[in-house]
Structure 1
Amino acid sequence: MKKEDQVKLFDKQAKRYAKRNSQHSFDKTLREQLFQHISGDILEVSVGTGTNFPYYHQADSITAVDFSERMLEYAKLAAEENDLPVELHLGDVEQMDFPRNQFDCVVSTLSLCSYPNPEHVLSQLSKWCKEEGSILLLEHGMSSNALYRWLQNRVNTFVKKRGGCHMNRDIIGLVEAAPMTIDDAEHRKLGTVHLLWCTPNHK
């Protein structure tokens, strides 16, 4: 899918994503767990409609990036509702750059499924994170269950076209190959959903 088509797709879905912010969903509990100790200067990539903002009240600053202008409109409202110091950036994470070692914490939730080059994005996340900082990931991908993995492969093309999402990415393999270390991990939903607490590996 071309990047401009991806942007249009996520612009179209923004209202539905924003509506989910007020609902108690399965991933809300996971976000609470992932962000219980988050603080300092935070970078969130593919911020969407600001779903994670309610968990950032110990933040000194928040830098949030997304390539969907419509998503950022909702994220701005979420920042105001939570009274947070958020700086929003409209742009493609794969093309953006920030200074090395700038952020105490770098966050990605349910976004590695959509990047054309997730390896590059993970490398950038590590670079932007301070050496003593943390990289927090909530991602979904290929199941550890053989039958469900077969189903994911069967429907992946359809889901990618309709939702801009690759269902069958090997998220753990991608993170293990990236310049970061997985310090702790939890896996849910037949191994399709991953909570990952990581630290950058600056070589």
Structure 2
Amino acid sequence: MAKIPKPPRSIPTKRTLPTHSSLPLHKQKPQSPHSQFAAEPLLQTPEGTPRGNWQRAWSERPKLSAFPRLSDEELKSAQHQAKLRRWRQWPMFGIGMMAFGLGTYGSMLYVSLNKDVEHKELPADLSDRFDKEAEGYDEKVDLAETLLFLTSKRKKLTAQAKGHVLEVAVGTGRNIAYYKTKHCATVTLLDSSGPMLAVTKRKWVDTHKEYFSRVFFKQQSGLDPIVPPYGAQDGYDTVIQTMGLCSTPEPVKLLQNIEACTNESGRILLLEHGKSHYDWLNDLLDKTAPAHADEHGCWWNKDIGKIVEESGLEVVKMQRYNFGTTWWLELKPRKGMRKGLAGRIAEEEAPVGQAEPPVTQKASWSPWRW
């Protein structure tokens, strides 16, 4: 039996809408003389543009007239009045809880500031506090730094680092995520606390693993002579310190020691906290400073401006935030002072009775040096 051939498949064509001119005359509607001008706004703001979408959404918004209005009898009904009372209870409950919390906090703050605090002699070196708080330090200060908007300031300050970079009092490495490593030849991270430096090392591996061969981790005090790495015999190009002057017993010496290892054309960037513009806030800081230092190893009532003035460093830029307690400082080393300060520091570190100053050995570079 012969097969019946299949009919050829027809190619579908696009259906086009009839235009106004293609319609029969009895179906064409007369155009108004203003129809051309009425279409101009649509041509200026087509539906695909953000402005057109916004206008369409605004025109389709629900109007108050669309909602059914209750009659006077329904508004006075017991059911509606009970519903209104329930709605009013929640805002009043929230306001009451907020007032109770603020009152409790204010009472506790008043009692803590007016009670007699047991004064005890604190040692000059409080670095052991940092050793104990290394693992949980970030969680303790996260909330305070967020409320004071310090995170954005850390990011802005660290992003300016370039060349051979030194960060003094690096702590747990709260600035590591903001380093632009492509602009850095080497990065030296220095801190006297071994546990905190260990946290810093873990953060660096997690954040800049590909740059690990050009980073140096030094566990030493910032008051000791700092030797720049190989290739930076003229000193560091950028030195960063955030919240470090508060935890050192000799802040003026620390700044001069930083100046001694900085290139004469380099920059010293500081983000510190200390005294305020206002006397009432300074009295509060002075009263609570011993207890805060005993717990966290930080004296938050130091006069940062006076410390910088006594150090002799040139101030390029200074800004203050948070009632003046947060200090942003950009300093510049003095010309011809690097060699003199380095020699003086070496003499202070030399043993008593030594006839000749010690010979400074050239630091050897190694990718695994920390």
Task: Mark yes or no: TM-score above 0.5.
Answer: yes
Post-superposition offset of 1:173: 1.3
Letter in 1 for 2:220: G
- C-alpha distance in 1, partners of 2:305/2:127? 26
Structure-2 residue corresponding to 1:35: 158
Q: Does 1:127 pair with 2:260?
A: yes
Letter in 2 for 1:130: N
- C-alpha distance in 1, partners of 2:175/2:322? 21
C-alpha deviations, 1:9-57, integer Å up to 9, x for none? Answer: 1011112234479888221111122233221110111111111112222
C-alpha deviations, 1:32-89, integer Å up to 9, x for none? Answer: 2223322111011111111111222222111111111110111001111221432101
Aligned residue for 1:168, secondary structure, equals coil
Structure-1 residue corresponding to 2:293: 160
Return the match for 2:175 from 30, 41, 52.
52
Return the match for 1:76 from 178, 188, 201.
201
Change (3 A) 1:73 1:176: same
Post-superposition offset of 1:8: 2.3
Return the match for 1:61 from 168, 186, 203.
186
Return the match for 2:132 from 12, 21, 38.
12
Structure-1 residue corresponding to 2:215: 86
- C-alpha distance in 1, partners of 2:308/2:219? 25
Post-superposition offset of 1:96: 3.5
5+ unaligned residues in a row in structure 2: which ranges? 1-121, 338-370
Aligned residue for 1:9, secondary structure, equals helix
Post-superposition offset of 1:95: 2.4
Aligned residue for 1:49, secondary structure, equals coil
5+ unaligned residues in a row in structure 1: which ranges? none
Q: What TM-score do the two structures reach when normalised by structure 1?
A: 0.91
- C-alpha distance in 1, partners of 2:136/2:300? 20
Post-superposition offset of 1:97: 2.9
Letter in 1 for 2:218: H
C-alpha deviations, 1:103-139, integer Å up to 9, x for none? Answer: 0011110010011111100001111110110000000
Structure-1 residue corresponding to 2:244: 111
- C-alpha distance in 2, partners of 1:125/1:43? 9
Runs of 4+, deviation exceeding 4 Å: 19-24
Q: What TM-score do the two structures reach when normalised by structure 2?
A: 0.51
Structure-2 residue corresponding to 1:151: 284
Q: Answer 1 or 2: which has greater helix percent.
A: 2
- C-alpha distance in 2, partners of 1:191/1:31? 17
Letter in 1 for 2:333: P
Contact 1:18 1:74 in 2 (8 A): no
- C-alpha distance in 2, partners of 1:94/1:73? 20
- C-alpha distance in 1, partners of 2:135/2:225? 25
C-alpha RMSD of the superposition? 2.1
- C-alpha distance in 1, partners of 2:320/2:223? 26
- C-alpha distance in 1, partners of 2:162/2:247? 27
Aligned length: 202
Structure-2 residue corresponding to 1:138: 271
